[in-house]
Amino acid sequence: MSNLTKHEFTISRNQREQNTGHPGKVIWFTGLSGSGKSTIANALDEVLHGRGLKTYILDGDNIRMGLNKDLGFSPEDRKENIRRIAEVAKLFADSGTIVLTAFISPYREDRQMARDIIGEDFVEVYMNTPLEVCEDRDPKGLYKKARAGEIKGFTGIDAPYEEPENPEVIISEGSVLSSSEFMVNAMEAKGWLSNIKEVNTLDKRKTIALDFDGVIHKYSEGFKGLENAYDGPMEDVEYAFKRLKSEGYTIKIMSSRPAHVIKKWLIKYDLDQYISDVSNFKFPATIYVDDRAFWFDKDDPNWKKDVEEIINKIK
């Protein structure tokens, strides 16, 4: 008879999700080695993190080298590997985190075990990349070693991979961008990315929300995909940032572009030091600045003049 008794903690899952602003989920990427599991999980993680969502990735680097470093690659060890991952992922989801797992998890029975452990939060994503494509990529040289007999029991060569029968999402060959966008659209359609935080109106005091394209970024080539930011900064943007900071304002950027793209752009032009946040959802601010605002002439912008108008308007 077990002496274990579950302790009832005060903070509920619903309260934790109120803090994170979205439901907890486990996005379980499965597929052959080299199918793109970790690559797509990482790209999706960047997009979701940029939106202000709470995320975490579980893959071989932080599981096989730590928690499961005592396990090998026999069918029994693979099963125990998946069981432990599922239990950890379940805890993450309960905390209101969207956890992305990237493991081959070759056996249907083991993936069903993970689904049973995690419950309704489990989302199976099958990376349907053909073996020949994975083998051609061979990013870690594992297929070459397996073909040479240096690695035994390698999935797809001398060990089986059992394709999912009814995954929630299937990703076939495509670019990293298109695949991550596909996942975001699928998650939005299911309501998994909804922000349920209550807005604290005090946050808007002395906060400037700036659009990216046509206000900070020159945008001369137009919109050619979420990832592409071709131009440099608008003239005198850095002057404007310094002026706003000298007046005590917090500067944030709100844009439909992935936040991680904008952050990389800001670093490239040494402007990240002035920006406190980049977001893809609306937040409280004293004033919102875009190229359709009444004071901003998008055909003849003059930041040295415009920044003074902003400051005078909100004093």
d(CA 183, CA 170): 10
The pLDDT assigned to 50 comes to 77
d(CA 216, CA 233): 6
Indicate whether 197 pLDDT > 90: no
pLDDT in tens, 143-169: 999 898 898 888 889 889 999 999 999
The pLDDT assigned to 298 comes to 61
pLDDT in tens, 118-136: 999 999 999 999 999 999 9
Indicate whether 189 pLDDT > 70: yes
2 in catalytic set? no
* Residues 68/89, Cβ–Cβ less than 8 Å: no
pTM for the model: 0.64
15 pLDDT band (50/70/90 cuts)?
confident
Question: Average pLDDT over the chain, rounded to whole?
Answer: 85
Q: Within 10 A of 87 (CB to CB), how many other CB atoms are there?
A: 13
Per-residue DSSP letter, 10? S
Q: Catalytic residue among 35, 38, 105, 179, which?
A: 105
The pLDDT assigned to 309 comes to 83
| % of the chain beyond a pLDDT of 70 | 89
* Residues 58/101, Cβ–Cβ less than 8 Å: yes
pLDDT in tens, 88-105: 999 999 999 999 999 999
